């Protein structure tokens, strides 16, 4: 049973001889037909073990060495392969050639004196102690290579591969080659051994030569033809396996694949292996300073590395590695360059910020100017070797200063020009601002309180629009308006002081009647200081009321100069110097518990808020106290009529935290303004800890338009107000056309209740006083 098992595992062995045109340069041209390369690729298919140069011109000593052994054939060694039927076999490969003496350029004399054609057809080869051939470099240095002998010093040939070079060989006529091959075939056919025609160098093949070679094969008992390329490693194994199938009929028939189809498959295999190898390199190599020796050692065990080196060789693997290193280095340099170029404008701003100094300087002259600046070395480094990206400076990560030779590049010059343009534009914008301010100051059309929309057409021109955004001009205009309004108010207050006698005949409550207000306005109406506030009637009326309060209740709170009032300044000075925060807190804790402080926001457009605020102040005592049902309240009012998202119209400030809000409307538009303002104010506090405004108590109040009986009906506005009050969860008050300040009587207790933790019930309150 043991003997049977040994017979089962016996591996068949075949001896194959590779033949083809050989001889002197006159006979075969300046190069061989590729027999040696075909054998080399089959026996040692790894790219690193494949050699393109195999010479047949030898010295007498090399010819007599143990590798050639005075023979005109080479023993390439033994190969084990699993062919298409998955049955393993062994093959001994020999190449029949003709070695030329490097002195006489004639064939070396050997024991076999027959011509090549007869010698190549030999089926019995003998050469005692003949060594396996690797490459030309082995000759004379046999001890440096593996020394494996031809088995038993003899071989019996089982089949022949007949090679035909289909490339355009130098100094070789293809028809003469085909004639030689035909004679060689006739000699091989006498041996009765299988023959396969192998077309070599198909990667450089000539179409006519390939076609003629196939025609030749058809004419010789339909010989099988395999198109190969040893250089591209295409169909080499197929040529040998096809011959093995002819030798051993028990094996399955081999399918012969055309060259270009096989080349496509080989190219796809190489491309896949290349992609995997490049992935491996990119995963392992992250630094451009890595070297091939250390990285290749890391990759040796990886199948991606092994497969690619097997197919393409170590040199190509190294080349891809170096390309990756070059790419990493380039990316590193570009990152550094971007950092330097990003810092360059900052260096310009720090070292040469003055346009007058560089306005007419070229980049070269500016570079010289930079070197003279005291802080030059803070921003730049002068390298001994240049350019910076070709020196070790690229890896000096601790030094973030800009290499000075970067200034010689086009991007740096462009940044310098951009710096110049920026300075010129800034100067132009400053000039435009100045011109615009002068235009405002000299224009007779700009009066206190005039809206931007009305003033724009008088003061704007194309130059202004070209250099600055309209929002900038609006900001300048707003500041200018504040100045002229403040000045107009001061002058108006001086006017009121000059006409003090107008206010002496008022009643003790210092509240002028309509008739009295009319008389005051008639007297002052012709004064320019009165007309200056024509577009600010509500504020002008408030100044008149405040002046009246001051006449009858001269305190620092009612002083027109407050907070610049001397009394207020003295009090502030004393409190800041002599009252510590602890004392102030103690004083506050001992204040009158019977007085509640209420901070009220009054919201309403078109003068509604300021008008109500003025009336409320007129009803307060001289220290802003207000009495309802015997209870005293200290009031602080904040009328708002504009966009609540602007800081000047914000519901709350660092010194004003509202307890409630009176929302006034007298039309659809003013009601819409109230709703939008409440929503904007609530949105601004969402997500914040101090979201007090979300739960701020509100009271919605309808105010009749005085003397206006047309337009929206009172009933319609009441219904709309009730709907909005329900939506906002707030109190709604039915309308009153006069005495609005008395609304505080039902509102303030409700605000105090809400502040204490209660919630305002949505309801409609009708005032207890008659409306007129």
Residue 745 half-sphere exposure, CB side, CA atoms within 13 Å?
Answer: 14
HEC-encoded secondary structure of 69-137: CCCCEEEEEEEEEECCCCCEEEEEEEEECCCEECCCCCECCCCCCCCHHHHHCCCEEECCCCECCCCHH
pLDDT attached to residue 259: 94
Strands (E), 359-511: 380-381, 402-403
Which overall architecture, per CATH, does domain 13-257 show? 3-Layer(aba) Sandwich (3.40)
Residue range 480-495, pLDDT digits in tens: 999 999 999 888 888 8
Which residues have CB under 8 Å from 633's CB, separation 6+?
A: 595, 596, 597, 598, 625, 626, 627, 748
CA 48 – CA 46 distance, rounded (Å): 5
pLDDT tens by residue, 69-122? 888 899 999 999 887 666 788 999 999 998 888 888 888 887 667 888 999 999
Q: Give 653's DSSP letter.
A: B
pLDDT digits (tens, 9 = 90+) for 189-205: 999 999 999 999 999 99
Say yes or no to pLDDT of 581 above 90. no
Mean pLDDT, rounded, for 366-376: 93
Other CB atoms within 10 A of residue 567 CB:
14
Which of 122-136, 380-394, 606-620 is predicted with the least confidence, judged by mean pLDDT? 606-620
In the prediction, which pLDDT does 619 show? 73
Residue 296, number of CB atoms within 10 A of its CB: 15
Rounded-to-10 torsion of CA 246, 251, 255, 259: -60
- Rounded to 5 degrees, φ, ψ at 17 are -110, 130
User: ∠ at Cα 289 (284, 291), nearest 5°?
Assistant: 70
Least confident of 508-522, 531-545, 689-703: 508-522
Q: Let me know: does 133 contact 76? Beta carbons within 8 Å.
A: yes
pLDDT in tens, 130-142: 899 998 888 888 8
| Cβ neighbour number for residue 540 with a 10 Å cutoff | 22
Per residue in 44-54, pLDDT (tens digit) is 999 999 998 88
Domain 597-750 in the same topology as domain 13-257: yes
Distance CA 370, CA 347 (A): 9
Query: 29: pLDDT confidence band, cut at 50, 70 and 90?
Result: confident
Query: If one looks up domain 597-750 in CATH, what number appears?
Result: 3.40.50.300
Residue 92 phi/psi, 5-degree rounding, is -105, 130
Please choose, from the candidates 436, 477, 476, 429, the residue with its C-alpha nearest in 3D space to the C-alpha of residue 453: 477
Domain spans, the chain: 13-257, 331-425, 597-750
Strand (E) positions, 167-257?
195-200, 224-227
Highest mean pLDDT among 89-98, 530-539, 633-642: 89-98
Q: Map residue 633 onto helix, strand or coil.
A: strand
Residue 584 has pLDDT above 80, yes or no: no
Distance CA 335, CA 438 (A): 48
Q: Which residues sit opposite 633 in a β-bridge?
A: 596, 626
Band (pLDDT 50/70/90 cuts) for residue 698 is confident
Cα-Cα-Cα-Cα dihedral sign, residues 674, 677, 682, 688 = negative
Q: Supply the mean pLDDT for the chain.
A: 83
Q: Is 209 helix (H, G, I), strand (E, B) or coil?
A: helix
65 pLDDT higher than 80: yes
Residue 585 confidence (pLDDT) above 60: no
Average pLDDT over residues 215-220: 92
């Amino acid at each position: 049973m043991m003997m049977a098992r040994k017979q089962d595992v016996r591996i068949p062995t075949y001896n194959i001889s590779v033949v083809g045109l050989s001889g002197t340069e006159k006979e075969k041209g300046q190069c061989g037909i590729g027999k040696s390369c075909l054998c080399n690729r089959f026996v040692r298919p790894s790219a690193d073990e494949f050699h393109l140069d195999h010479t047949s011109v030898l010295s007498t000593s090399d010819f007599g060495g143990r590798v050639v052994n005075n023979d005109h054939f080479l023993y390439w060694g033994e190969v084990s392969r699993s062919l298409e039927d998955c049955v393993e076999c062994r093959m001994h490969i020999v190449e029949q050639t003709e070695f030329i003496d490097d002195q006489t350029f004639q064939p070396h004399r050997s024991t076999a004196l027959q011509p090549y054609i007869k010698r190549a057809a030999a089926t019995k080869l003998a050469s005692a102690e003949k060594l396996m051939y690797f490459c030309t470099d082995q000759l004379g240095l046999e001890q440096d290579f593996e020394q494996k002998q031809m088995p038993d010093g003899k071989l019996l040939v089982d089949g022949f591969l007949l090679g035909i070079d289909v490339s355009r060989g130098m100094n070789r006529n293809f028809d003469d080659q085909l004639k030689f091959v035909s004679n060689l075939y006739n000699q091989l056919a006498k041996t009765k051994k299988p023959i396969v025609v192998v077309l070599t160098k198909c990667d450089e093949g000539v179409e006519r030569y390939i076609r003629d070679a196939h025609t030749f094969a058809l004419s010789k008992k339909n010989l099988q033809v395999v198109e190969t390329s040893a250089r591209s490693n295409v169909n080499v194994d197929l040529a040998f396996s096809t011959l093995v199938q002819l030798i051993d009929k028990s094996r399955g028939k081999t399918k012969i694949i055309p060259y270009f189809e096989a080349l496509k498959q080989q190219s796809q295999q190489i491309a896949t292996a290349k992609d995997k190898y490049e992935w491996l390199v990119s995963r392992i190599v992250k630094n451009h300073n890595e070297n091939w020796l250390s990285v290749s050692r890391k990759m040796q065990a990886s199948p991606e590395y092994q497969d690619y080196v097997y197919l393409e060789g170590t040199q190509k693997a190294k080349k891809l590695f170096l390309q990756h290193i070059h790419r990493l280095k380039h990316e590193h340099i570009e990152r550094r360059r971007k950092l330097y170029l990003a810092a360059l404008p900052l260096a310009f701003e720090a070292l040469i910020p003055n346009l007058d100094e560089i306005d007419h300087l070229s980049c070269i002259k500016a570079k010289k100017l930079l070197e003279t600046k005291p802080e030059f070395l803070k921003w730049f480094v002068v390298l001994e070797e240049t350019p910076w990206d070709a020196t070790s400076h690229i890896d000096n990560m601790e030094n973030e200063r800009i290499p000075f030779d970067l200034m010689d590049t086009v991007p740096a010059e462009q940044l310098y020009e951009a710096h110049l343009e920026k300075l010129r534009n800034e100067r132009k914008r400053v000039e435009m601002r100045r011109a615009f301010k002068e235009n405002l100051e000299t224009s007779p059309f700009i009066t206190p309180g005039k809206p931007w929309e009305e003033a724009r057409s008088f003061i704007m021109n194309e130059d202004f629009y070209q250099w600055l955004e309209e929002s900038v001009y609006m900001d300048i205009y707003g500041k200018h308006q504040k100045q002229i309004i403040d000045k107009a108010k001061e002058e108006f207050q001086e006017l009121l002081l000059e006409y003090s006698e107008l206010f002496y005949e008022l009643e003790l409550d210092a509240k002028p009647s309509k008739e009295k207000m009319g008389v005051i306005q008639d007297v002052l109406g012709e004064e320019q200081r009165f007309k200056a506030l024509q577009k600010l009637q509500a504020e002008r009326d408030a100044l008149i009321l405040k002046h009246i309060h001051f006449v009858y209740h001269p305190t620092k709170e009612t002083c027109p100069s407050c907070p610049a009032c001397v009394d207020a300044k003295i009090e502030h000075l004393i409190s800041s110097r002599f009252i510590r925060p602890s004392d102030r807190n103690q004083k506050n804790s001992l204040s009158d518990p019977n007085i509640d402080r209420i901070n009220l926001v009054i919201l309403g457009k078109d003068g509604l808020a300021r008008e109500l605020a003025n009336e409320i102040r007129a009803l307060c005592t001289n220290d802003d106290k207000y009495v309802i049902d015997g209870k005293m309240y200290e009031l602080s009012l904040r009328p708002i009529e504009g966009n609540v998202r602007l800081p000047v119209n914000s519901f709350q400030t660092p010194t004003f935290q509202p307890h409630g809000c009176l929302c006034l409307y007298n039309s659809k538009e003013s009601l819409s303004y109230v709703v939008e303002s409440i929503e904007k104010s609530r949105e601004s506090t969402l997500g914040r800890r101090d979201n007090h405004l979300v739960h701020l108590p509100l009271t919605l109040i309808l105010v009749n338009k005085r003397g206006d009986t047309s337009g929206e009906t009172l009933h319609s506005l009441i219904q709309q107000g009730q709907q909005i009050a329900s939506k906002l969860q707030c109190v709604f008050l039915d309308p009153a056309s006069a005495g609005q300040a008395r609304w505080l009587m039902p509102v303030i207790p409700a605000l105090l209740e809400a502040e204490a933790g209660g919630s305002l019930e949505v309801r409609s309150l009708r005032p207890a006083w008659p409306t007129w």
